[in-house]
Amino acid sequence: MPKVSVYNSISLDGYFTDARGDMSWAHQRDPEWTAFAARNSQGSGQVTFLFGRVTYQLMASFWPTPQGRESAPEVADNMNARAKLVFSRTLREASWANTTILKGDPVSEVRKLKQQPGTDLMIFGSGTIVARLAEAGLIDEYKLVVTPVVLGAGRTLFEGVKQKLLLKRTSTRSFENGNVFVCYEPAR
């Protein structure tokens, strides 16, 4: 059964985007962090990336470009090579290689995916998708990078969640740049 994980950077005050939808505050370049990000993007085996339309379009406009390849070659190669699923009612075609558009309800679609053999799923960005899947109990692991910046306003990953989600910490790692990587899974 495929596992569903979330990987996102959040600000110290809990936002994954600022009030304008920008996520550039989360991108730091130092050797320790860059090496970790490259290893993390490769995952531990096969993984299919899962996106909402907005995050997909943001990623598709960067990783396949020369600028994306220059900024982080290992991450770009991995992002471009992996299978990608994007939830969208409006996209007609996918411009990024190895992408499949899913038109159905994310909760129903992910339930189906989890019941059949296949690769694990990794969600980047896509706060609306994260909130809906979290509330439905479909997320198996939350990998969060707490970045030492206070944004004051923005979007949280859990906007719209109406029930308490109890989680347990499974690992942490601190970095010289101030980032803290924390993994949680549901406390079942």
Containing domain of residue 9, as a range? 4-186
The residue written with tokens 């038109």 in the block is 103
Q: Which two tokens stand for residue 141?
A: 């692991």
Q: What is the tens place of the pLDDT at every residue in 69-125?
A: 998 888 888 899 999 999 999 999 998 999 999 999 999 999 999 999 989 999 988
Let me know: does 155 contact 15? Beta carbons within 8 Å: yes
pTM (2 d.p.)? 0.90
Mean pLDDT across the chain, nearest whole number? 91
HSE-CB at 169 with a 13 A cutoff on CA atoms is 7
Tally of domains within the chain: 1
Stated as kind and residue range, the H or E segment containing 179 is none
Q: What is the tens place of the pLDDT at every residue in 13-54?
A: 999 999 998 888 887 777 888 788 767 665 556 899 999 999
Beta bridge partners of 85: 50, 100
Q: Write the CATH number for 140.
A: 3.40.430.10
* 127-135 helix and 106-114 helix, angle to the nearest 10 degrees: 60
Q: What is the tens place of the pLDDT at every residue in 125-156?
A: 888 999 999 999 999 999 999 999 999 999 99
